C-alpha cells in the first residue's frame, strides 16, 4: 500500500481482494468501496501506510460480511430452501440435509435419496437464489427419473419453471470460467468474479 494507484492483493478472512489505494488531497477520512473483488480506497495524503493498513483491513472485513449476508450462506438456510423446492414436486422427495462442497469442481449438485442429502457446489452460494433453486430442483427430479428423458424435463419444468433460464445462466458461468483470461481487463473488472470460485469444466454442469 505505498504509492498512488498501485495494485496490491489483500487477504481478508480467506478472500483475496485487489486493493487500489488513492491518495486524495481533500479526503479527511479513509473510505472504501467493494466492487466484486476489487477494494477501492481513498485516503488522506498525509496518512502513513502503517496507520492506513489496519483501517483498510477493518473496512474490508465489514464490506465483505455485508456482501456475504445477501447470499445463501448457511447450510440451514439452504436446507429450508431445498425443502421448499421439494414441496413443489407431486411426490415431494425427502431432504434431510444440504451440504456445500468446494471439492465439487465439475458438478453443480447431486442428491442421494438413500441419505436424503443434497450436495451443492459452493460456488452457487454467490449466485442468485433462483439459480440455486433450479439446481436443487434438477437434482431432486433425478430421484424420480435418473436420465434426461422427456418425462424428466416435464417433471422438472413443472416443479421449477425457471429451469431453462438457470441452465443458460450456468452455461454462461461455465463459459466465463474457461474464457475469463481472454476477456479484456476492463470487462474482467466489471464482472468482478474470482476465477477459482467457479468450476472449470462444465460440459454437463447438472
118 lies in the site for Zn ion, by CB under 5 A: no
159 lies in the site for Zn ion, by CB under 5 A: no
Q: Which is nearer to Zn ion, 155 or 206 (CB)?
A: 206
206 lies in the site for Zn ion, by CB under 5 A: yes
Q: What residues contact 73, with CB distance under 8 A and at least 6 apart?
A: 125
What's the full length of the chain, in residues?
206
CA distance 147 to 59: 49
Residue whose beta carbon is closest to Zn ion:
206
Would you report the helix, strand and coil content of the chain in percent, each value rounded to 5? 45, 20, 35
20 lies in the site for Zn ion, by CB under 5 A: no
Residue 34 buriedness (CB in 10 A; 0-12 / 13-18 / 19+): middle
Q: Which is nearer to Zn ion, 7 or 147 (CB)?
A: 147
Q: Which is nearer to Zn ion, 52 or 144 (CB)?
A: 144
Interface region with Zn ion, contact rule CB under 5 A, candidates 88-96, 108-116, 154-162, 198-206: 198-206
177 lies in the site for Zn ion, by CB under 5 A: no
User: Under the rule (CB under 5 A), what is the footprint of Zn ion?
Assistant: 206
Amino acid at each position: 500500500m505505498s504509492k498512488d494507484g498501485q495494485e496490491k492483493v489483500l487477504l481478508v478472512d480467506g478472500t483475496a481482494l485487489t486493493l487500489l489505494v488513492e491518495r486524495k488531497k481533500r479526503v479527511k477520512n479513509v473510505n472504501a468501496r467493494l466492487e466484486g473483488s476489487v477494494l477501492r480506497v481513498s485516503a488522506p495524503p498525509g496518512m502513513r501506510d502503517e496507520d492506513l493498513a489496519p483501517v483498510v483491513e477493518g473496512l474490508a472485513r465489514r464490506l465483505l460480511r455485508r456482501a456475504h449476508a445477501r447470499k445463501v450462506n448457511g447450510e440451514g438456510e439452504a436446507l429450508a430452501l431445498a425443502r421448499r423446492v421439494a414441496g413443489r414436486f407431486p411426490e415431494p422427495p425427502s431432504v434431510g440435509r444440504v451440504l456445500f462442497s468446494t471439492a465439487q469442481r465439475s458438478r453443480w449438485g447431486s442428491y442421494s435419496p438413500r441419505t436424503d442429502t443434497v450436495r451443492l457446489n459452493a460456488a452457487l452460494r454467490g449466485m442468485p437464489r433462483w439459480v440455486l433453486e433450479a439446481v436443487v430442483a434438477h437434482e431432486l427430479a433425478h430421484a424420480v427419473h435418473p436420465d434426461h428423458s422427456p418425462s424428466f424435463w416435464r417433471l422438472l419444468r413443472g416443479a421449477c419453471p425457471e429451469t431453462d433460464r438457470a441452465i443458460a445462466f450456468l452455461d454462461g458461468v461455465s463459459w466465463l470460467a474457461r474464457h475469463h483470461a481472454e476477456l479484456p481487463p476492463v470487462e474482467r473488472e466489471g464482472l468482478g468474479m474470482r476465477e477459482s470460485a467457479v468450476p472449470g469444466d462444465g460440459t454437463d454442469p447438472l
